[in-house]
Amino acid sequence: MKPVRSEQEFQNIVRRLELALDASQIGVWEHELSTDVLTWDERMYEIYGRSHPGGVVDSSLWSNAIHPDDLAGAKADFADAVRCKDDYSSEYRILLPDGEVRYLRSRARYFEENGTGTFIGAEWDVTADVLLNRELGEQQQIAEKRAQALEETTARIEHAAAHDYLTGLPNRRFFDRRLAELSTSPDIDKLALFHIGLDRFAMVNDVVGHDVGDRLLKATAAAIGERLPAGAFLARIGGDEFAIILGNFLSIDYLRKLAEQLLESLKRPVWHSEGMIGVTASIGVACANAGKIANLLVESDIALMRAKKSGRNRADFFSAQMKAQINSERRLADQFVRGLERGEFVPFYQAQVDARTRKIIGVEALARWRHPKRGLLSPAEFLGVAASLGMLDLLDAAILRQTLHDRKSWTRNGVRAPKVAVNVSAARLSDPSLISDLKQLDIEPGTLSFELLETIFLDEIEDGMMANVSALKSMFIDIEVDDFGSGHASIIGLMKLKPHRLKIDRRLVMPITTSREQKRLLRSIVDIAKALGIEVVAEGVETLEHAKLLTRLGCDVLQGYAIAYPISSEDMLDVLIEAKQGAFMVEA
């Protein structure tokens, strides 16, 4: 049997309860359902902003204080508790007399005695909690929006870092990553790589501007994309270069057909304000089985280089022989550089004779390479390497220095050395330091002639090049146009340049013994030159019949194998000595 509490103990409990309620700012209320009497303690009045000391209160005070938007919900919560005779719980806003909005939480227990139901409950102000939670919610939303914005920004940055800004295609970084992934993928049995390069694209930017060039690149990307099979990966990996990765392709024949389709698609022109412009493309293709694709890009690049060297607008497939040839060319390029440093390039001299007297009146210096292992090499075996290295001007300079040295050597040996003609490249002729370099060489006036290939003798000759030509003439160095008739020079160009002589291309000379048309063409060239006061040199004189015909047609100077072969400086000295003694003469 439980002990009966004393009055004092009850008083102590009440005081502790009041202290707890006071500390927690909780108001207590009682609602007797049968009489609808509502009783509040003092704290309830304080919560609702009323000054009444507590006790019975009209229920309208409660309902009138609740925010209109929350009133229906609060009444519904209370009605549900009454109907179910269960605990009551509700939260709502109230409006204080001064208009301030507060948030309340109300809880009550249902008691029933002698058939009379009563709710005894408590309410407390949770405004601070609600506002704090609201602020936290708002801050969370802000944080989530910022996180989303950061994620979107990061995605844009990552996309920009992996894609080309102009075409939207994956860039070289993305391409390298994708190729590395495929190299270790268990799903890849074989892989093909198409390396596509536009032909002479730099000319587009130079002639019609970068805007048109950009449009052409976009059109190229679109044209390639239209032809790609499903699963192919296309990227722009350089200025005018694109690459396609194709996994598990059907066959080599399939790759060849796809390459042909791509070449045809890329011939589409692009319209601009002044018309249309179009370029072709070259393609290098390499393929390999799984586990052996690490060198695909290098191999496709080798194939692309071969396609461009073979005439462009074509597709070449990589092969072991191609790689060996490229390596050989690279070795030759290295040897060329070392050869220049070691003085292995020397001039050989081919005599030029007066067309009528057949006496030597000049010699042409022709570059030869005394290769330490391969022996004497002709220009056909190294001029292409020199051009690809951008070292034609250095080769010209080396041959010129040795030519001047040889000529002085001939003079010291008691012969009257003839005028020497040396070839000069476009790079050499455009060099701003050309004239100052020549002045350091102690060139005797009237003893030297520069031969300009007709391929660089254009009507739109650069101002810097023309200034050098004028300066050469002032130094009494003659100007000749070599290989005239190959289709680049015009009469207007001849009048502008005013060369001392022009050398007719051997391809026009060779057929004159069998073709009347070629003979008439050559006579017309000679007549034009004579009208402009220009001497005519005929090269490619292979037979005495050529020599006789060219003389009758009016050529001034003859050069070719029927006259003399190119020979070394030492042998040329012997020929000059013979000529001095009257022993050297070409049969008339």
Q: What are the tens digits of pLDDT across the range 337-380?
A: 999 999 999 999 999 999 999 899 999 999 999 999 999 999 99
Closest to 539 (Cα-Cα) out of 562, 516, 567, 571: 562
Q: What are the structure tokens assigned to 112, written together?
A: 């029933």
Q: What's the rounded mean pLDDT across residues 292-310?
A: 85
* Residue % of the chain over a pLDDT of 70: 91
pLDDT band at 454 (very low <50, low <70, confident <90, very high): low
Average pLDDT, the chain: 86
Beta bridge partner(s), residue 26: 124
pLDDT band at 174 (very low <50, low <70, confident <90, very high): very high
pLDDT tens digits along 509-562: 999 988 899 899 999 999 999 999 999 999 989 999 999 999 999 999 999 999
- CATH code: domain 7-125 is 3.30.450.20
CA distance 400 to 449: 11
Closest to 399 (Cα-Cα) out of 455, 457, 446, 340: 340
Nearest-10 crossing angle of helices 320-342, 392-412: 40
pLDDT band at 457 (very low <50, low <70, confident <90, very high): low
Beta bridge partner(s), residue 419: 362
Helices (H), 191-343: 201-208, 210-227, 252-265, 296-309, 320-342
- Show the CA angle centred on residue 432, arms to residues 429 and 438, nearest 5°: 70
| pLDDT at site 100 | 92
Answer yes or no: is pLDDT of 461 > 70.
Answer: no
566 to each of 262, 462, 538, 546, how far by Cα in Å? 48, 33, 16, 19
Decide which of 3.30.70.270, 3.40.50.2300, 3.20.20.70, 3.40.50.10490 is the CATH code for 172-318: 3.30.70.270
- Residue 182 main-chain phi, psi, to 5 deg: -70, -25
Closest to 46 (Cα-Cα) out of 121, 106, 125, 131: 125
Amino acid in position 52:
H
- CATH code: domain 328-580 is 3.20.20.450
Closest to 484 (Cα-Cα) out of 413, 411, 417, 538: 538
| pLDDT at site 587 | 53
pTM: 0.59
pLDDT tens digits along 32-49: 988 888 999 888 898 998
CB atoms within 10 A of CB 360: 23
pLDDT band at 296 (very low <50, low <70, confident <90, very high): confident
Q: What are the structure tokens assigned to 451, written together?
A: 């031969």
Intervals of CATH 3.30.70.270 along the chain:
172-318
| pLDDT at site 23 | 54
Intervals of CATH 3.20.20.450 along the chain:
328-580
43-57, 392-406, 464-478, 537-551: least confidently modelled range: 43-57
Q: Check if the beta carbon of residue 87 is closer than 8 Å to that of residue 111.
A: no
Closest to 506 (Cα-Cα) out of 339, 374, 364: 364
pLDDT band at 9 (very low <50, low <70, confident <90, very high): low
Q: Check if the beta carbon of residue 366 is closer than 8 Å to that of residue 349.
A: yes
Map tokens 């006579």 to a residue: 523
| pLDDT at site 250 | 86
| pLDDT at site 495 | 80
CB atoms within 10 A of CB 513: 14
| pLDDT at site 588 | 44
pLDDT band at 285 (very low <50, low <70, confident <90, very high): very high
pLDDT band at 19 (very low <50, low <70, confident <90, very high): low
Intervals of CATH 3.30.450.20 along the chain:
7-125
Answer yes or no: is pLDDT of 569 > 90.
Answer: yes
| pLDDT at site 491 | 73
| pLDDT at site 489 | 61
CB atoms within 10 A of CB 34: 10
